[in-house]
Amino acid sequence: MSGGHSSYTPNTGIEKWIDARLPLPRLMYDSFVAYPVPRNLNYAYAFGGILAIMLVSQILTGVVLAMHYAVDTGLAFNSVEKIMRDVNSGWLLRYLHANGASMFFLAVYVHIFRGLYYGSYKAPRELLWILGVIILLLMMATAFMGYVLPWGQMSFWGATVITGFFTAFPIIGDPIQQLLLGGFAVDNPTLNRFFSLHYLLPFMIAGVVILHVWALHVTGQTNPTGIEVKSKTDTVAFTPYATVKDAFALCLFFILFAYFVFYLPNFMGHPDNYIQADSLKTPAHIVPEWYFLPFYAMLRAITFNIGPINSKLGGVLTMFGSIAVLFIVPWLDTSKVRSAVYRPWYKLFFWLFVANAIMLGWLGSRPAEGLYVIFSQLGTAYYFGFFIVLMPLLGLIETPRRLPNSITEAVLAKNKSGGQPVGVAAAPETKG
């Protein structure tokens, strides 16, 4: 799937002239038209394309918003209101951008869960997975800095709390915080830094996305069976088959997106952010955007000291560790079977992991007290336990179901059995 002779044939004189000097049309044709993909891809695989479209949408709306935004603590809040009230279609641009961030994270979390379920991180796709985690980190940094720009109460105090986490690190913590803030407190230099980085990082994300797609085309697309392509009958051309499927999924996704933009534009925001930032008035509960809540819950779950590590440093290390552990997932999973479709125990623990992540998100929105803290600690333990304990252990003790010999066999068997994957009804076979 990753190589072979190009099937592109330039038809006109201008196409031949361009192809001989800069074969960009050939590259696009080979990558997005004739590129072979497994014939059994389901709609979970459409989120990669959805994410690419959302990235373009965020960059375009962000660039236009930046033309009307004032990077000054005395003007920022009112400039956002001016965009909403006076700029032509400014309300639409802002709601597209603000809700687009939430839709972006919704799609990326589904994309990650799909990768974990179908084993898309396994060899030879380790670098593909690592590039994806880097994109996630860049997205988080971009979203956090963008949340500060409206200069509302939650923007100001969110920046104060999050940048304050760096002071937990001995020696280097204070210099890092002062470098981010441009001083000793959140003020105009902070807003300038965050605006500059918020504008820059999406283009860095686009660069890593190009590497991500390149790595995908080198190793080839995975599929629900987890079996590599063995013959031409296992694949179909990307266009029109995958293109039409992705386009349909994109339309459904945009319907959901449009519903929030036009009917519930502030549903995923916080009402305190419509109050101008005031350093003398602290909100009752400082909470981040919903897509950071699971990590925020894990940060607050560490309420005790561990040797020389105090609770603040322990929480910060836990939060960063929850992302860092994703980098080593390809080496934590010891199973030789890629897809959870044929791994009954892994499938069970995976869905418990999804439920646990949703629970942590809810706990992150609650006050850090009583049972909320206890359940956050249990959820944090299962989050890390899934990667560090269950993944290595299940690969050694689990007996997977029988795998089909090829993708084509799986497709034919699924059609005959009325949708049930091949091997599911078969007698378990000990893994060799």
Instruction: Name which of 215-219, 265-269, 302-306, 391-395 the model is least confident about.
Output: 302-306
C-alpha span between 327 and 321 (Å, rounded)? 10
What mean pLDDT do residues 291-295 have?
Answer: 97
User: What three-state secondary structure class fits 152?
Assistant: strand
Average pLDDT, the chain: 93
Residue numbers belonging to the annotated binding site: 97, 111, 198, 212, 217
Which residue is it, tokens 């005031």? 278
pLDDT at 1 over 60: no
Residue numbers belonging to the annotated binding site for heme b: 97, 111, 198, 212
pLDDT at 419: 62
C-alpha span between 157 and 159 (Å, rounded)? 5
pLDDT at 418: 66
User: What three-state secondary structure class fits 38?
Assistant: strand
C-alpha span between 189 and 182 (Å, rounded)? 5
What mean pLDDT do residues 298-314 have?
Answer: 82
Which amino acid is it at 211? Answer: L
User: Can you read off the two tokens belonging to residue 358?
Assistant: 């949703």
C-alpha span between 45 and 224 (Å, rounded)? 9
Q: Whose CA is closest to 35, among 275, 331, 243, 189?
A: 243
What percent of the chain has a predicted confidence (pLDDT) above 90? Answer: 90
Asked if 328 and 384 touch (Cβ cutoff 8 Å), the reply is no
pLDDT at 260 over 50: yes
Per-residue pLDDT reduced to its tens digit, 106-142 = 999 999 999 999 999 999 999 999 999 999 999 999 9
Q: Where are the domains of the chain?
A: 35-278, 295-401
Q: Whose CA is closest to 315, among 325, 327, 301, 331?
A: 301
What mean pLDDT do residues 205-226 have?
Answer: 97
Residue numbers belonging to the annotated binding site for a ubiquinone: 217
Give the pLDDT band (50/70/90) at residue 303.
Answer: confident
Give the pLDDT band (50/70/90) at residue 424.
Answer: very low
For residue 259, give every residue at least 6 positions away whose Cβ sits within 8 Å of its Cβ, in sequence order, or none.
Answer: none
Domain range 35-278, CATH architecture:
Up-down Bundle (1.20)
Give the pLDDT band (50/70/90) at residue 423.
Answer: low
pLDDT at 422 over 60: no
What mean pLDDT do residues 361-382 have?
Answer: 95
Residue by residue, DSSP assigns 320-348 as HHHHHHHHTHHHH---S---GGG-HHHHH
Per-residue pLDDT reduced to its tens digit, 47-102 = 999 999 999 999 999 999 999 999 999 999 999 999 999 999 999 999 999 999 99
**Cβ neighbours of 39 (radius 10 Å):** 17
Give the pLDDT band (50/70/90) at residue 426.
Answer: very low
Give the pLDDT band (50/70/90) at residue 425.
Answer: very low
Q: Whose CA is closest to 293, among 360, 393, 386, 380?
A: 360
C-alpha span between 297 and 348 (Å, rounded)? 24
What percent of the chain has a predicted confidence (pLDDT) above 70? Answer: 95
Greatest Cα-to-Cα distance within the chain, rounded to the nearest angstrom: 74
Give the pLDDT band (50/70/90) at residue 420.
Answer: low
What is the distance, to the nearest Å, from the Cα of residue 29 to the centroid of all Cα atoms in its chain? Answer: 28
**Cβ neighbours of 387 (radius 10 Å):** 18
pLDDT at 254 over 50: yes
pLDDT at 172 over 90: yes
Element (H, E) at 2: none
Residue 11 phi, psi (nearest 5): -100, -40
Per-residue pLDDT reduced to its tens digit, 26-51 = 999 999 999 999 999 999 999 999 99
C-alpha span between 70 and 62 (Å, rounded)? 13
3-state secondary structure 169-222: CCCCHHHHHHHHHCCCCCCHHHHHHHHHHHHHHHHHHHHHHHHHHHHHHHHCCC
pLDDT at 431: 41
Which residue is it, tokens 């101008």? 276
Q: CA Rg, the chain, in Å?
A: 24
Residue 138 phi, psi (nearest 5): -65, -40
pLDDT at 353 over 80: yes
What mean pLDDT do residues 207-212 have?
Answer: 98
Asked if 297 and 318 touch (Cβ cutoff 8 Å), the reply is no
pLDDT at 315: 93
* Angle at the Cα of 29 from the Cα atoms of 24 and 34, rounded to 5 degrees: 155
